Amino acid sequence: MLDLSTNHIISIVISFLVVGIGYVISLFIFMKYVNKRKNIVLYLFMTAFFLITAALIDPIVLLVSRNQLTLELADIMINKGASISFSLTAVANIFLLLFQKDVFYLNRKSTLIGVLIVIEIFIAIITPILGLMSIDIFILLVIHLLTSFIIYGNQAQKANQVSKKSVSREDVVGKKGLSYLKFSGIVLSFVLVSFIFQEIIRMFKDFFIPIGLIDELGCSLFVPLAWLLSLIGLYCMYIGYLMPEWIKKRWEKK
């Protein structure tokens, strides 16, 4: 049995905390769907559910990898878990794209949305298959990160565009909601930056291990940071689109 490093412990604690809060937010969204029965709310719930479930995979895999006899076996276990986690984030992106289509494109067709959905479906299906077969998924990871950057950037750009062109200055609630949707896109982009830093220091872990940025299993604090940012982005989408009554009243008073 391998010892847990400080990075392992912090990652597990933060990830479980993010998962707990994330599922609570997901439950609130689902309750809204039960009341409204609108597909767009269902898309938001599915985005939240799969994103938080992806975050749940990491601490479980870290705990299971501790039971492996060697670092090599533990590393294989972590890579397989990562492939499943990235697949779940691709599924979350698919529902986020459907959400964006209904919010920002209304009844208009979007070639960009269609192409991105096809790419993410491919990533969601192929990544776990290759990962479980211990085949390198680095290229798929790069494609997924680039696609995600476009998805999150599109959300921020579209929310900003609608706020400027279609919402009057007097509509404080509408502008606030769109500002939260815009901010969620920005925050989710920083999630990808965190994952990129994780992969960089993992590739050169022999250099970063002595200074404590990463441990022998490639575990750093950039992964729990990414999931924490995901939770913030999810919360901003929940507030920005569903606007609970308490937040509406607060905005209307200003």
Domain map (residue ranges) of the chain:
6-253
Alpha-carbon distance of 228 to 15, in angstroms, equals: 8
Mean pLDDT of 47-61: 93
Instruction: Work out the pLDDT band at 1, boundaries 50, 70, 90.
Output: low
CATH for the stretch 6-253? 1.20.1070
Alpha-carbon distance of 66 to 4, in angstroms, equals: 7
Contacts for 26 with CB less than 8 Å, ≥ 6 apart: 45, 48, 49, 52
- Write out pLDDT tens, residues 144-171: 999 999 999 999 999 998 888 766 666 7
pTM: 0.92
